[in-house]
């Protein structure tokens, strides 16, 4: 759950007050405490002043903070005060945009998973409310935009956190109610439609599970006459690996294998809540990759929605299969201006980039540059990776149009996956974000909460704001 | 080695003839050959559906007119032919000529410059490491000894060929070094092969265990201490811009002379992993764990061979990483040349330890304009990019762009990978300044962050070439085996941006 944020001029109920401090500008009244703890306002530092009438936490902004500087200062405050039920962020000296970023950082860091504990510890406090003290001109408008992004990220995080027993493909769909309320049109393709439309890859991946695969189409008409931007999300609600079963250790992490779809849903919620004028669609490929008597097998040949045939090498490389069908379907039915897909796709990208950046692949360098810029601004960094001729030719198959992955050790599987997906883009401008390392964090730090991150939601929201809301775009 | 010569264009009387055929089915000497053979060539093209596509070939055996065979190589559109495509055309022809001792290649339709590149392509593809095949039958060995490239102006082609030949020699030297088994190529033997480059005008300085101990190469010595083969650090100096320094006192020259370029290579002549020993399967590949150093040596030979007008230092750190009673242990702490201490948690992450000392020493000793290091450093890089791109890291955007562009031109491709404080943090050690490994996630990046701690403010790029120094299949100009990746890339970088330009202090 994400703490509520209220905007006001004062906060009598708050138990602690947070003051952002620029480097070398410690406010009057706190200079002695700051000196005693060596606090100067450097970014990443804080000074907890407990002796006064209210608890005051000074957080450093550094000398010239940017957007991320305000967010990380807010995050630091929430990290230090995560057990205080109500805190006030003193943003009276900040501009509206700065105040909004400050509050956003605190709210994102203050998120905690909704527990399933049957008897929660009554002593354990939990940051539930944040008062943002600001009377800056434009603060309402700035917070309207920012809170929409926050709500989208919160939805994605809640979806990623939910165990797979309840978050089946249909369970996922049942949790899209906030989108419907915000004006997003939701349609669902079930077995018959999937068969009629020929989504053979999605059907094959979902075949081993009693929880049937679904394709969800989310639509926002927007206000401008232009083709929509399309988000495509991998939504494997649990990934056992199928017949090519995964090792038992850490298999539980696979409940987050729908984080791409969650991010797409979250981004649609953000766009709806802030009333983005851009038409937008999201196609979510939802399935459980289970082991069953009717599971698809290594060696099977599938006919994808695009008509291309695919030889299955490893049933644990299922994400690219469901994405291929979702992308192809989106292009054929929705005629998008651009496709951005998000997927927890490969272990290879984690080996390559770790847990600090997502991997980005593209057929359109300009779209990729915009995506990277949006990611940098919102603090969801991506790094561009290549698709080479060899990556594609490695997928040549003896009996089908292509294989979906290769076997053997030391394979550049993230690049192979991207080369595979590119076959289904039909020259539509496309960016693929492999977010396998970014969906969840194992441990909390000053900047990030532990658990689901909602990675991608704010990136997509920002990308749309900057590049798809021009009323004259073609 | 294949002898490449240049001669006046004419229809040869004997031997094999190579035609470079464009997508209009036109080629120098094609009409003459067709006429002399009674239309055999055009009939063969039709029968084989040969269309002149780049990379396609068509062989016509004993077509008449005294020729043993005609080998047609497609080059696509003549006007789109680049140096790289010209080399590939030469490379594609080569394996089809192995049964002749002499062949001619008609290149009258190309510029002399491009014709010379065709010759280079053939030379590069002809490479074969067969010195240990004692029972191979003569008829199984390729016979081709000489290739005459036929052009309009042979003297112009020869002029273009001279520097290319030097680059070819550099590539061959690198491939020889990388192909040599580790029982032959110890650090001391590799150092001797570096010393042989003095014949080209390089000044070569070799540091042995005594000097290295005195200088304080603690990280490098820690890696080598388990092996019976002593370590070496070799510095190869090429003073193509300023001439060899006079015997002035050290220190005086640093201010008086322009800053050299510096190339640094990881030279682990065999990497068992040490006490953190590697799995047996595939361990034989670790003879090429000196590939980075091999490339630096070949590059220095190429630059000297073509009399490059630039001052360059090549430094290689040569060690063998063995498990033994004297080997370094996981948990050991070593003090590097820079003074920084390193907790060695995995003895198989040894390359960065060698580079740490060599880079810090090179920066201090030469104050170079930039340092570029090459190392077969991480398996993670192979998982990241595969075998077509080397990954590279840099603290200097200009240098990074220059490198990237040189890769596109030469076909020795590079992909930039990120550096960031968030990765650097993972190197924190509980008892030393840093540890030498992190977890698997992002481990090529954290290796680069480790190395970065030893380069100071010097503009620097690190090329992780683990995936590209050895190839399991033939390519147009690279037979399978040692690729010599980097020689041409870095030669190009030097030629394009640093040669003959007045050095900025």
Q: Give the domain B3-152 fold.
A: 3.40.220
**CATH match of A148-467 with 3.40.630.10:** yes
Parallel/antiparallel/unpaired status of strands B311-321 and B261-271: parallel
Closest partner residue to B441 (CB to CB) among A355, A391, A394 is A355
| CA distances for B451 relative to B76, B365, B437, angstroms | 44, 18, 12
Q: Which two tokens stand for residue B489?
A: 């890339």
* For range B430-453, the mean pLDDT: 97
- Taking contacts as CB-CB distances below 8 angstroms, the residues of chain B near A353 are 384, 418, 441-442, 445
Asked whether the beta carbons of residue A353 and residue B442 sit closer than 8 angstroms, the reply is: yes
Tally of CA atoms within 13 A in the half-sphere of B147 that contains its CB:
32
- Taking contacts as CB-CB distances below 8 angstroms, the residues of chain B near A390 are 386-388
- Taking contacts as CB-CB distances below 8 angstroms, the residues of chain B near A411 are 383, 386
Among A250, A351, A388, the residue to mutate for chain B (most B Cβ within 10 A): A351
Kindly give, in sequence order, each residue whose CB lies less than 8 Å from that of residue A113, ignoring residues fewer than 6 positions away: A1, A157, A161, A451, A452
- CA A458 to the chain's CA centroid: 7
Closest partner residue to A356 (CB to CB) among B384, B385, B442 is B442
Among A250, A354, A448, the residue to mutate for chain B (most B Cβ within 10 A): A354
Total residues found in chain A within this entry = 474
Element (H, E) at A154: helix A139-161
Specify whether A234 is catalytic: no
Q: Could you tell me which residues are beta bridge partners of residue B147?
A: B4, B103
- Looking at chain A, the domain(s) classified CATH 3.40.630.10 span 148-467
Q: How confident is the model at residue B1 (pLDDT cuts 50, 70, 90)?
A: confident
Contact indicator for B239, B255 with CB cutoff of 8 Å: no
- Taking contacts as CB-CB distances below 8 angstroms, the residues of chain B near A385 are 384-385, 415
Any idea which residue has 């290689």 for tokens? B316
Element (H, E) at B464: strand B460-464
Q: At what angle do helices B112-125 and B83-93 cross, to 10 degrees?
A: 50
pLDDT digit string (tens) for A331-371?
A: 999 999 999 999 999 999 999 999 999 999 999 999 999 99
Q: How confident is the model at residue B424 (pLDDT cuts 50, 70, 90)?
A: very high
Cβ-based neighbour number of residue A192 at 10 Å: 8
Q: Which two tokens stand for residue B256?
A: 């008086």
- Spatial CA neighbour of A456 closest among A435, A437, A430: A435
CATH class, A4-134 region: alpha beta
Q: Could you tell me which residues are beta bridge partners of residue A288?
A: A238
Kindly report the CATH number that applies to the domain delimited by B166-497. Answer: 3.40.630.10
- Please report, rounded to a whole number, the percentage of residues in chain B having pLDDT higher than 70: 97
Distance (Å) from the C-alpha of residue A437 to the closest C-alpha of chain B?
A: 8
pLDDT digit string (tens) for A117-158?
A: 777 776 678 899 999 999 999 999 999 999 999 999 999 999
The reported pLDDT for the residue numbered B505 is 41
Closest partner residue to A390 (CB to CB) among B388, B420, B426 is B388
pLDDT digit string (tens) for B275-287?
A: 999 999 999 999 9
Catalytic residues of B: 278, 352
Average model confidence (pLDDT) across chain B = 95
- CA B449 to the chain's CA centroid: 24
| CA distances for B273 relative to A352, B141, B286, B290, angstroms | 22, 37, 9, 14
The answer on pLDDT for B247 being more than 70 is no
Contact indicator for B313, B260 with CB cutoff of 8 Å: yes
The reported pLDDT for the residue numbered B460 is 98
**DSSP track, A342-366:** EE---HHHHHHHTTT-EEEEES-HH
Measured CA to CA, the distance from residue B298 to residue B309 in angstroms comes to 17
Distance (Å) from the C-alpha of residue B403 to the closest C-alpha of chain A?
A: 16
Query: Domain coordinates of chain B in residue numbers?
Result: 3-152, 166-497
Parallel/antiparallel/unpaired status of strands B203-207 and B232-239: antiparallel
Any idea which residue has 């002149």 for tokens? B52
Among B281, B384, B445, the residue to mutate for chain A (most A Cβ within 10 A): B384
Asked whether the beta carbons of residue A385 and residue B415 sit closer than 8 angstroms, the reply is: yes
Q: In what order do the strands lie in the sheet with B146-151?
A: B3-8, B146-151, B102-106, B15-22, B67-76, B57-64
Asked whether the beta carbons of residue B442 and residue A350 sit closer than 8 angstroms, the reply is: yes
> In sequence order, what E strands does A50-179 have?
55-62, 86-90, 129-133
pLDDT in tens, chain A (474 residues): 899 999 999 888 888 999 999 999 999 999 999 999 999 999 999 999 998 889 999 999 999 999 999 999 999 999 999 999 999 999 999 999 999 999 999 999 999 988 777 777 766 788 999 999 999 999 999 999 999 999 999 999 999 999 999 999 999 999 999 999 999 999 999 999 999 999 999 999 999 999 999 999 999 999 999 999 999 999 999 999 999 999 999 999 999 999 999 999 999 999 999 999 999 999 999 999 999 999 999 999 999 999 999 999 999 999 999 999 999 999 999 999 999 999 999 999 999 999 999 999 999 999 999 999 999 999 999 999 999 999 999 999 999 999 999 998 899 999 999 999 999 999 999 999 999 999 999 999 999 999 999 999 999 999 999 999 998 886
Asked whether the domain spanning B166-497 has the same topology as the one spanning B3-152, the reply is no
Q: Which two tokens stand for residue A86?
A: 């109500």
Q: Which two tokens stand for residue A45?
A: 């530092």
The reported pLDDT for the residue numbered B245 is 76
């Amino acid at each position: 759950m994400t703490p509520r944020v209220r905007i006001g001029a004062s906060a009598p109920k708050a138990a602690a007050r947070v003051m952002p401090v620029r480097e070398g500008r410690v406010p009057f009244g706190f200079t002695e405490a700051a000196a005693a703890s060596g606090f100067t306002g450097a970014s990443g530092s804080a000074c907890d002043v407990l002796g006064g009438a209210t608890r005051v936490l000074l957080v450093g902004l550094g000398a010239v903070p940017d957007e991320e500087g305000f967010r990380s200062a807010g995050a630091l405050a929430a990290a230090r005060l995560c057990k205080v039920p109500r805190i006030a962020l003193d943003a009276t000296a900040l501009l509206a945009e700065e105040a909004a970023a400050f509050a956003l950082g605190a709210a994102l860091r203050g998120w905690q998973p909704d527990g399933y504990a049957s008897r929660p510890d009554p002593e354990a406090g939990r940051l539930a409310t944040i008062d943002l003290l600001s009377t800056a001109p434009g603060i309402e408008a700035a917070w309207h935009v920012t809170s929409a992004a926050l709500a989208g990220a919160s939805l994605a995080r809640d979806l990623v956190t939910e165990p797979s027993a309840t978050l089946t493909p249909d369970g996922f769909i049942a949790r899209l109610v906030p989108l419907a309320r915000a004006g997003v049109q939701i349609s669902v393709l079930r077995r018959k439609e999937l068969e009629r439309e020929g989504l053979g890859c999605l059907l094959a991946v979902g075949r081993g599970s009693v929880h049937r695969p679904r394709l969800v189409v989310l639509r926002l008409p927007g206000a401008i006459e232009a083709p929509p931007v399309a988000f495509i999300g991998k939504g494997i609600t649990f990934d056992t690996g199928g017949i090519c079963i995964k090792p038992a250790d850490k298999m539980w992490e696979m409940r987050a294998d729908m984080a791409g779809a969650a991010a797409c849903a979250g981004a649609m919620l953000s766009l709806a809540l802030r009333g983005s004028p851009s038409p937008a669609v999201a196609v979510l490929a939802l399935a459980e990759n289970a082991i069953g008597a009717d599971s698809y097998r290594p060696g099977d040949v599938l006919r994808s929605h695009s008509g291309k045939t695919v030889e299955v090498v490893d049933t644990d490389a299922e994400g690219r299969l469901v994405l291929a069908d979702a992308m192809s379907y989106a292009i054929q039915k929705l005629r998008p201006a651009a496709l951005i897909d998000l997927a927890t796709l490969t272990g290879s990208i984690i080996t390559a980039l770790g847990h600090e950046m997502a991997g980005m692949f593209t057929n359109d360098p300009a779209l990729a540059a915009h995506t990277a810029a949006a990611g940098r601004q919102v603090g969801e960094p991506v790094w561009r990776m290549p698709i080479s001729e060899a990556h594609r030719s490695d997928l040549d198959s003896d009996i089908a149009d292509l294989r979906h992955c290769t076997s053997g050790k030391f394979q550049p599987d993230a690049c192979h996956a991207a080369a595979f997906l590119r076959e289904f883009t039909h020259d539509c401008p496309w960016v693929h974000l492999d977010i396998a390392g970014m969906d969840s964090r194992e441990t909390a730090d000053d900047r990030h909460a532990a658990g689901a991150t909602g990675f991608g939601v704010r990136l997509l929201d920002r990308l749309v704001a900057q590049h798809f809301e021009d009323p004259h775009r073609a | 080695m294949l002898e490449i010569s240049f001669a006046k264009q004419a229809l040869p009387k004997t031997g094999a003839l190579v035609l470079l055929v464009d997508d209009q089915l036109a080629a120098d000497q094609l009409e003459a050959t067709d006429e002399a053979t009674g239309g055999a060539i055009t009939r063969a093209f039709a029968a084989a559906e040969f269309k002149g596509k780049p990379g396609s070939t068509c062989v016509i055996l004993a077509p008449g007119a005294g020729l043993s065979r005609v080998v047609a190589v497609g080059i696509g559109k003549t006007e789109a032919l680049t140096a790289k495509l010209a080399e590939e055309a030469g490379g594609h022809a080569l394996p089809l000529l192995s049964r002749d001792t002499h062949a001619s290649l008609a290149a009258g339709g190309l510029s002399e410059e491009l014709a010379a590149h065709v010759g280079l392509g053939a030379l590069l593809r002809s490479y074969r490491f067969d010195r240990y095949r004692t029972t191979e039958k003569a008829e199984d060995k390729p016979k081709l000894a000489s290739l005459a490239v036929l052009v309009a102006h042979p003297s112009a082609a020869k002029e273009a060929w001279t520097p290319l030949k030097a680059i070819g020699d550099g590539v061959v030297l690198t491939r020889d070094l990388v192909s040599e088994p580790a029982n032959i190529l110890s650090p001391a033997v590799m150092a001797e092969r570096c010393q042989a480059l003095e014949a080209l005008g390089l000044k070569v300085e070799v540091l042995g265990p005594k000097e290295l101990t005195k200088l304080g190469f603690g990280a490098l010595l820690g890696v080598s201490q388990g092996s019976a083969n002593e370590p070496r650090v070799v510095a190869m100096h090429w003073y193509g811009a300023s001439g060899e320094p006079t015997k002035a006192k050290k220190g005086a020259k640093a201010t008086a002379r322009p800053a050299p370029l510096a190339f640094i290579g990881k030279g682990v002549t065999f990497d068992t992993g040490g006490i953190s020993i590697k799995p047996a399967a595939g361990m034989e590949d670790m003879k090429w764990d000196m590939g980075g150093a091999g490339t630096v040596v070949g590059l220095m030979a190429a630059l000297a061979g073509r009399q490059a007008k630039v001052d360059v230092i090549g430094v290689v750190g040569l060690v063998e990483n063995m498990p033994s009673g004297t080997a370094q242990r996981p948990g050991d702490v070593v003090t590097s040349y820079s003074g920084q201490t390193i907790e060695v948690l995995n003895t198989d992450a040894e390359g960065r330890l060698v580079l740490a000392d060599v880079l810090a020493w090179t920066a201090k000793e030469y104050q170079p304009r930039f340092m570029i290091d090459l190392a077969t450093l991480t398996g993670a890089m192979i998982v990241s990019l595969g075998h077509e791109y080397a990954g590279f890291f840099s603290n200097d955007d200009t240098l990074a762009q220059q490198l990237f562009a040189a890769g596109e031109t030469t076909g020795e491709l590079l992909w930039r990978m990120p550096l960031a404080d968030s990765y650097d943090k993972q190197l924190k050690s509980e008892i030393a300044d840093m540890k030498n490994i992190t977890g698997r996630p992002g481990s090529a990046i954290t290796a680069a962050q480790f190395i970065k701690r030893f380069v100071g403010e010097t503009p620097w790029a690190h090329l992780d070439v683990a995936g590209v120094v050895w190839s399991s299949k033939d390519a147009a100009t690279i037979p399978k085996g040692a690729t010599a990746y980097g020689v041409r890339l870095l030669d190009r970088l030097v030629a394009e941006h640093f040669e003959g330009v007045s050095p900025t202090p």
